[in-house]
Structure 1
Amino acid sequence: MRHPFRIHVRGLDTSVGSDGRASVYAAIRSLLSRRSPRGCAQGGCGLCAVRLIAGEVVLLGPMSASKLAVGGPDPARVLACRIASASDLVIELGESLLRLSGRPVGASDIEKQ
């Protein structure tokens, strides 16, 4: 199946296809080198927090405000399990997903959160 949208993951320098129907988290799970937990998939646990750098998304459901506020206010922070691609996207993984990617997490990564 051809995926109409690409999700570029900044920092991993890779991208993955998205059909625009499944969540962004479902699409990026294949990029994680360690076994990625499913998380709650309902916007409440915060495991799938990402920063939306560019692109448009469709909201699939509510997100926990407390999980979005971790590390201070950031209007670009979203929960990948609660959004779907509406265009090509550029995202940065949050700390939890960075750890699952196998990429070392440094202080500069945490400061961005």
Structure 2
Amino acid sequence: MSAKKEEQTAAPAFNLEKAMMDYSGDKYELIVMASILAAQKGKNEEFRFQPRDKVIKASLAEYLAGKITREQLVETYMSERKLMEEKQAQEEKRLEQKAAAPRLELKLSGESL
């Protein structure tokens, strides 16, 4: 089979631009969802050193292709945010305990510091 015939029989590639134009939902929400997904992807080794525009483009394509839903993204985002808030609260508590701990003063041969 020739190379041209193989190209024609292969599944058509996902057209991101067409999918964005055909998207019937809120375009601003689409950007927010893609940004959340891109931030999650940026934590993965595969996308860590990729240019940000490629990560966002891959995220847009994944979201528009229906590989991930809005509900899944929101759930993941909220759970990550909750973990971050818990870490911040623990750090604040640790710093408060450190500040409240009695300090030892050293006196060297009658000199006060």
TM-score (norm: length of structure 2): 0.23
More strand by share: 1
Looking at secondary structure, tell me which structure has more helix per residue.
2
For CA contacts below 8 A with separation 6 or more, give which structure has more relative contact order: 1
**Higher Cα Rg, which structure:** 2
What's the TM-score once normalised by structure 1's chain length? 0.23
